[in-house]
Amino acid sequence: MDGNEKKTEEFNSSNLVIFLYKWRKPLFIVMLCALFGSWFFSLPWFITPKYKSTVIMFPASTSSISKALLSAQYSKGQDLVEIGEQEQAEQLLQILNSSRIRERIINKFHLMDHYGIDTSSHYKYSKLYKEYEDNISFRRTEFMAVQITVYDEDPQLAADIANGISCLLDTVKNEMQRQRSVKGLHIVETEYNDLQKELSNIVDSLVKLGSLGINDVEYQSEVLNQQLAINITSGNRNAQAAIQKKLDVLGKYGGVYMSLKNALEFKTEQLTVLQAKYKQAKVDAEESLPVKFVVSDAYKAERKSYPIRWLIMLVSTVSSLFLAVIVIMVMEKINSYNTQKNFQLGQS
């Protein structure tokens, strides 16, 4: 059995060699035509060469200044110089693919004119966005970095677009965060101002009570009662009346004083906490941090990256030879079938 398979294999290999040798001239002509055709049609006249520029960056773990610098409690992800992980990289990719960055890049570099889009076309934006997606791409690398890749006919423009997108990333993300930070600051600021007014009213009330002689209810009550007892013992009625008058005022406003005093202590603690939050919210609303660590900026490419002519020529030549072999085999089969059919008709 193995011998038969070996003979069949040798027979098939011999047939293939014989077949290629028999048709060597047509196949050689096809190869030359494919080489010349692929070389010729890959010239800049037919395929516009493009240059590639890339920016590689790592996401930052946090973009909140208040958490990174002002927070007393440290937790993972709040280090100002810590590199972000997969979640932060995915966030950057979503922002890079957003219409905010796309529209600003299109307007800044006049890509509608640069790509030769007919502005009178009903589908001009569809064509523009298709060109943008074909020439500009974003991906996450295996090292959790984010890569911006730009192809363009102009090598300098390709580098400028890549670097421009990198710069816009900070701007767009900080704008998105600032929208929430400003609203948060407004809420905290309102609460902070209202609490200050409440404290001011409490202090004013305590000042008025102080003008009535109420400064420390517990201590004053103890001292006045002692003096009253002494005066009662000594029989000094005038002193008794004066002390009793003070005790009546103390009894009337003592509860209010204690309530205001406790409220002042509680509100003061609240104000201290709220003041810290107000400072953090103000920093987040008014300041900003870079959201990335740039590893490699884009630069003007010296060699084109597209098309790869040797690859085009190789694929075209191999494909043409394979197709030519298939066509010749089919033609041989057809000729063999016709010959056999004619032979059988002649015998009959």
pLDDT tens for the 348 residues of the chain, in order: 454 444 444 445 567 777 777 778 888 888 888 888 877 776 666 667 889 999 999 998 766 666 666 655 555 545 666 777 888 889 999 999 999 999 999 999 999 999 999 988 889 999 999 999 999 999 999 888 999 999 999 999 999 999 999 999 989 988 888 888 888 889 988 998 999 998 888 888 877 776 666 666 665 665 656 665 666 666 666 666 666 666 656 666 666 777 778 888 888 888 888 888 888 888 888 777 788 889 989 999 888 876 667 777 888 888 888 888 888 888 878 877 777 777 666 665
Number of domains observed in the structure of the chain: 2
Question: For the whole model, what pTM was predicted?
Answer: 0.66
In the chain, where does DSSP find H-type helix? 2-22, 24-41, 65, 86-96, 99-108, 111-114, 124-135, 155-211, 217-234, 237-286, 309-347
Establish if 144 belongs to a structural domain. Answer: yes
320 found inside a domain: no
Assess whether 80 and 162 both reside in one domain.
Answer: yes
Token output for 170 = 């900070």
Residue-range definition of the domain harbouring residue 262: 185-286
Whether residues 205 and 129 fall in one domain: no
Backbone angles phi, psi at 139, to 5 degrees: -155, 160
